[in-house]
Chain A
Amino acid sequence: DIQMTQSPSSLPASVGDRVTITCQASQDITVSLSWFQQKPGKAPKLLISDASDLAAGVPSRFSASGSGTDFSLTISSLQPEDIATYYCQQYDILPYTFGQGTKLEI
């Protein structure tokens, strides 16, 4: 199975901060990577697909990049509603696998 490793596991941040989360795959997944945002008690929400394509309705302060094994998600100016846990997920090879999550905290 492809292992997805996110860092950090938790990230203290303040409103207005620029925050970056990284995700590393255990093997080359080209650009077959999604990022999801999950708030407590809610279903995950798709933010990014194909490593860098913003999903419909997602604010432009979210951006992502990467290919192969190294990926990142950046929030350019953190807003209060962005406090959540973020997951990367590869869909290159079955079984599809997720990173362990990064929890943004105030």
Chain B
Amino acid sequence: QVQLVESGGGLVKPGGSLRLSCAASGFSFSDYYMSWIRQAPGKGLEWISYISSSDRSSTTTKYYADSVKGRFTISRDNAKNSLYLEMNSLRPEDTAVYYCARDDGSRIWDYWGQGALVTVSS
């Protein structure tokens, strides 16, 4: 069955960095677009980034929300069935649960991970 498992969350100081991972199983990971969505404590959901599947030259397309553009980098390793989110220059407002989600091919997020909590605080 499809499984997405995030890891790498934790407590980091403002200005610090963190790398989240999302391990995928139960489907052909390389064929799917993937996204990161976050949820601040007690708040709603915010899409932050997506990465396309790789084309024949292994090129991917990436998009970011303005709130993270220039600070966060999404990437994937199809050989490891893994999705990543490199987060730099972290701010207190980046404190959230971060979810990875699979795009079914029609921009619909049909499977989500359980989430990883990132806390940015001094």
B47 near A43 (CB under 8 angstroms)? Answer: no
Q: Is the interface of A mostly helix, strand, loop or mixed?
A: loop
Known contacts being A32-B107, A43-B99, A91-B107, is A96 close to B112, with CB within 8 Å? no
The answer to whether B45 and A45 have CB atoms under 8 Å apart is no
- The size bracket of the interface on A is 20 to 34
**Contact partner, B114, options A43, A55, A89, A91, Cβ 8 Å:** A43
Q: Of the candidates B35, B46, B66, B106, which one forms a contact with A98 in the assembled complex, judged by CB atoms under 8 Å apart?
A: B46
CB atoms of A89 and B110 under 8 A apart: no
Q: Select from chain A the residue with minimum beta-carbon distance to B63.
A: A94
**Hey, which chain A residues are within 8 Å of B106, CB to CB?**
49-50
A62 within 8 A of B: no
* A33 CB to nearest chain B CB (Å): 10
**Contact (A98, B47) CB under 8 Å given A43-B99, A43-B115:** yes
B88 to chain A, nearest CB (A): 20
Contact of B45 among A32, A46, A98 (CB under 8 A): A98
State whether A95 touches B112 (Cβ < 8 A). Answer: no
Chain B residue with Cβ nearest A49: B108
- Interface membership of chain B positions 94-113, coded 1 if the CB is closer than 8 angstroms to chain A and 0 otherwise: 00000100000011111011
Is the beta-carbon distance between B110 and A55 smaller than 8 angstroms?
A: yes
A101 to B45, CA, bound (A): 9
Q: Is A34 an interface residue (CB 8 A)?
A: yes
- Asked if A7 CB lies within 8 Å of chain B CBs, one says no
Given A43-B99, A87-B44, A96:B107 Cβ within 8 A? yes
Rank and list the top 8 A-B pairs by shortest CB-CB distance, nearest first: A91-B107, A43-B112, A96-B47, A49-B108, A98-B45, A95-B65, A101-B44, A100-B44
Show 22 A/B contacts (Cβ-Cβ < 8 Å), sorted by A: A34-B108, A43-B115, A44-B99, A44-B109, A46-B109, A49-B106, A49-B108, A49-B110, A50-B106, A50-B108, A55-B110, A87-B44, A87-B45, A91-B107, A91-B108, A94-B63, A95-B63, A96-B35, A96-B107, A98-B44, A101-B44, A101-B45
